[in-house]
Structure formats: structure tokens, C-alpha cells
Structure 1
Amino acid sequence: MASNASEPIIGLTTYTEKASWGVWHTEAALLPRSYVDSVKQAGGIPVLLPAGDSDVLSAVDALVLSGGADVDPARYGQQPQDKTVTRPERDAFEFALARAALDRGLPVLGVCRGMQVLNVALGGSLIQHLPDRVGHTEHQPSPGVYGPTHVTLAAGSRVAAILGAQTKCQCYHHQAVDRLGDGLRAVGWAADGTVEAVEVPGAGFVVGVQWHPEQDTQEVRLFAALVAACR
């Protein structure tokens, strides 16, 4: 482990956004507290990772690629559509982190955007605006509102071993996996066929989920599995 502590250190990527607190309104590296609480409840030590150098991985035992803005479509050979909102600085950092973590064999959990980063980093592509493909907005009903989604998980998959054959989750995404990245396996689907979970088969822990498990801090099984994979 990266430290002598009994609890693994879990690195969490952050948003770089304009934020307000007290008398301040300025650029900040931030992350919803629910991620931090989920890691703590799972038995890990959360550490926030602002955009920077992928060498920070030497200080952590596992990586969570968190949610946020859209991946730049140039990374999978497309032009951005009018509903695509990107953060190039964050892309550069997280793609370097994802590749370095995979090379080092670190446990990785991708959440929403984080699953998309994993997919594109491995050569996959994305659907830029999911409602154009599936004909509804249930995965992102309106700004700031999560869409309850039932996901069916593949028998024998790592995610099914953690969560069971089906799970009800909170979604907030207008993009989704189109072409799968090299080595990734789709292991979870919404009723409309949208890929909601992926993993890299094998001994290591590399899992991506399109939903937001941190939104239910009483349901920490995915984070607990990540922590357990560090030991």
C-alpha cells in the first residue's frame, strides 16, 4: 500500500470550476462531499486529486475517476455537438491518470464521466447526446435531477458479484458508451439498452459505472469492493 496506514488511500479526481463560499467566488478544485463520505464508510482514506501530474498515483492505493463534464469528442475522432460541454484541462489530467493507473495495476473505479474516460482512454467512443439515440431523457430528467434507473448485470461479472443480478441506481448522464474500448466488457444495461457498467475481466479491479453510487451513501458496496481490492 502507498502508506503504512491500515486503511487504503483512495485518490478522487476533482472538478475545476467557478465556485462560491463565504465571500469568495473563484476557481476551485472541488468534489461533492458524497464521494468523500462513501470512501470513508467503505473503510478508505479519501484524498482529493486536483488537475496536475499523474505522478500523484504514487501516493494512493486506488483511483476513483469521478463524474463531471463531457469528454472532448476530439479524443474519439468526432466534432463536438451543440449539447457537449468539455473541460480540456481535466481531460488531459484524467486520461494520463487512467493510463498510468492501468499500467501500474491500481484498482480503478470510474463513476459516470469516469466510466467514459476509461472507455475512451482504451480506444472507445461515446454517444454525444443519448436522448437522440434512445428517444427519452430518463437518464438525465432535468438539470440537477437524477433519474432512477434499473440496471441488469451480467451473470459472472465482477459488478454482479458485488451488487447482484439487478440494481436500482441514480443516473445523471446525457452521454453513454458507443464503441467499447479495447479490453473492456459491457456488464450492465438499462432497459433501453444503454451500457451502464463495464469492467476489465481478470484479476485486477477495473470497473466503470454510468450511474452515481455516491448518491446513496448507505449503499457503499462498490466503494467497499474498491477498498478491498487494495488489500
Structure 2
Amino acid sequence: MVRLYGGQALQLRPSQHVQLSEFAFDGVVVTGGHDIDPVLYAEEPEVEPKYDSARDQLEQAVIDQALNRGVPLLGICRGAQLLNVCRGGSLHQDLKSKRQKTSNRRTLLPLKTLLLETDGLLKQLLGSGPCRINSLHNQAIDRIGDGLRVAAHDLDGIVQAIEDPLQPYLLGVQWHPEFLIFIPRQRRLFKQLIKVSVEQRLQAAQ
């Protein structure tokens, strides 16, 4: 999706952490993966650990750098959760007990309902009214991080998206839009990320 809208995709791995300062980037996508170590939000583990400390450290550094530079950032699933943690928020470590109206079954298919809450960036991109999303996560955002607001939730009231209203593009979504690119409104998340990244690069060059 990054390449489709004119961007150049550069994948960073934990082994490249020490080289992070050598990479110049105009936008960031933090993708899905293992659970985030709860020590990062000062809590004890409540579920069987499936952590990746090296990745936590790399992505925290990338997010911090993006936040300090005002670089557009899209966090997907784990990426949204880590963005929230980097802003001082916390997570629900196991969603099974939170599910009342929705299934806990993980699926790539858009079988769950997203309810938009604000008139911010996400609503501008997805349009008004509920839309369908997929779900591959067992954890989710609990306490909202500093400067962030809830942009959408599901039928159980579980946070599905966060955004910073003071930034042109700082967005975290709990679902996986990269698996829903056949839906035009989902592609807009990536299109807008590239658009804002290009605009900010051009402004900086002037």
C-alpha cells in the first residue's frame, strides 16, 4: 500500500536498532505482532507471555523519534497499542472477559462492527456511519495515553482506534486495514499517510 501511493517502503528489524539514526523516514507504519511486555506500562503479566523485547525496544525508539519530529504515523493492532503505551497509556491484556456482543474469534474477514466516535481524522477518512472491520487481537487499549482520544470503538465499547487531534496524521487502529485493501475506505488510511508525509517533506525543504 505504501508503494501503491508513491511511497518507498523501508522495513526495519530489531537487529538494525543501533543503526536507527542512519535511517531518514518521512512516515511510519508500526505493524501487528506479539503482545507488548506489560512492564512497559508498569503492570504484571496476566496471560502466558508472548513478548518480543527486542522489537518493543526498536519500535518504541521509532515511535519516540516520530513523535519528536512530528512525523506522520499509523499504528496497526500492536502498533496502535504501543503508540498508546508510548504516550503513557495502558492495555487490557486479555479481552475474553470484555466480550459481550462480539465474538472473540480472530478473523481476517470484516465481520465486526466499527463505531466512529469523533469528527477527527479517522471519521474524515472512513466516512460517517458504522463500517466493518476484521479482528486478530487478544489485547486492546485500556487507559488512553496523553494527548490521544478515542476515535472509534466496537459494539462492546472496546477501543478500536485512537488519534491525536493536534497532529495532521497520528493514528492507531486495532484492526488490520492491510488485509482489507479491497475496501476503498480502508485504503484511504494509507493514501492519507503518504499524502501528509509528502506534504511535510516538501514544506521542510522550502
* TM class, shorter-length: 0.7 to 0.9
CA distance in 2, matches of 1:136, 1:84: 27
Counterparts of 1:137 and 1:152, CA distance in 2: 13
Q: Paired residue for 1:111?
A: 76
Structure 1 residues 46 and 162: CA distance shift in structure 2, 3 A: same
Task: Give the superposed CA RMSD.
Answer: 1.7
Counterpart for residue 154 of structure 1: 117
- Is the 2:161–2:174 Cα contact (8 Å) retained in structure 1? yes
- 2:162 is equivalent to residue 198 of structure 1: yes
Q: How does 1:81-120 map to 2 (within 5 A)?
A: 81-120=46-85
Question: Within 2, Cα distance between the matches of 1:128 and 1:135?
Answer: 17
Matches within 5 A, 1:1-231: 38-51=1-14, 52-53=17-18, 54-56=20-22, 58-135=23-100, 138-139=103-104, 141-142=105-106, 145-146=107-108, 148-165=111-128, 166-219=130-183, 220-230=187-197, 231=199
Q: Deviations over 1:74-127 (max 9, x none)?
A: 111111123441101100111111111100110000000000000001100000
**How many residue pairs align between the two structures?**
190
What is the rounded CA distance, in whole Å, between the counterparts of 1:170 and 1:76 in structure 2? Answer: 26
Question: For the residues of structure 2 that align with 1:163 and 1:82, how far apart are their CA atoms?
Answer: 34
- C-alpha change, 1:168 and 1:43, in structure 2 (3 Å) is farther
Measure the CA separation in 1 of the matches of 2:2 and 2:117: 25
Distance 1:203 1:131 in 2: 33
More strand by proportion, 1 or 2?
1
Q: Specify which structure has the bigger relative contact order, considering alpha-carbon pairs within 8 angstroms and separated by 6 or more residues.
A: 2
Q: Which runs of 5+ in 1 are unaligned?
A: 1-37
Contact persistence 1:42–1:221 (CA under 8 A): no
How many angstroms apart in 1 are the aligned matches of 2:122 and 2:102? 25
Q: Which runs of 5+ in 2 are unaligned?
A: 200-206
Which has the larger helix fraction? 2
Report the residue type matching 1:212 in the other structure: H
Report deviation, 1:208. Answer: 0.3
Q: In the superposition, relative to structure 1, how do residues 183 and 155 fare at CA in structure 2: closer, same or farther (>3 Å)? A: closer
- Distance in 1 (alpha carbons) for counterparts of 2:160 and 2:121: 14
Q: Partners in 2 of 1:69 and 1:209 — Cα distance?
A: 16
Q: TM-score by structure 2 length?
A: 0.86
Give the whole-Å Cα distance in 2 for the aligned partners of 1:191 and 1:43: 35
CA contact (8 A) 1:84 1:128 kept: no
The CA distance in 1 between the partners of 2:61 and 2:102, in whole Å, is: 32
SS in 2 for 1:39: coil
Q: Distance in 1 between matches of 2:167 and 2:47?
A: 40
Is the contact made by 1:149 and 1:190 (CA closer than 8 Å) also made in structure 2? yes
Q: Secondary structure at the match of 1:150?
A: strand
Q: How far apart, in 2, do the equivalents of 1:83 and 1:42 lie?
A: 39
